[in-house]
């Protein structure tokens, strides 16, 4: 088990508007998860998404899959 802490970041496309999510991809290799949180509430709840599911989600948003 790892004791590694999430290293949070938001997209460079977010433009400091405050309506963003933050993700921590540093846990993909050790735990195979992508934690997601609301950038306006960094002490609030964290959604932990399996890395393969998060990857499919991003591909779908980018239009890189036949899903939708």
**Domain-located, residue 3:** yes
Above 90 in pLDDT, residue 61?
Answer: no
CA 31 to chain centre: 14
**Domain-located, residue 68:** no
Report if pTM > 0.85: no
**Domain-located, residue 26:** yes
The boundaries of the domain holding residue 9 are 1-62
Coil, strand, or helix at residue 60? Answer: helix
**Domain-located, residue 10:** yes
Distance CA 45, CA 29 (A): 22
**Domain-located, residue 67:** no
The number of domains in the chain is 1
> pLDDT, tens digit, for every residue of 1-60?
456 899 999 887 776 666 789 999 999 999 999 999 998 999 999 999 999 999 999 999
Q: In this structure, what token pair is assigned to residue 52?
A: 């393969």
Q: Residue length, the chain?
A: 68
Let me know: does 35 contact 24? Beta carbons within 8 Å: yes
């Amino acid at each position: 088990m790892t004791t590694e802490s999430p290293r949070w970041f938001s997209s460079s496309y977010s433009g400091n508007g405050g309506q963003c999510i933050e993700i921590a991809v540093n846990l993909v290799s050790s735990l195979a998860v992508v934690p997601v949180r609301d950038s306006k509430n960094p002490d609030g709840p964290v959604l932990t998404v399996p890395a393969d599911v998060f990857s499919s989600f991003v591909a779908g948003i980018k239009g890189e899959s036949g899903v939708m």
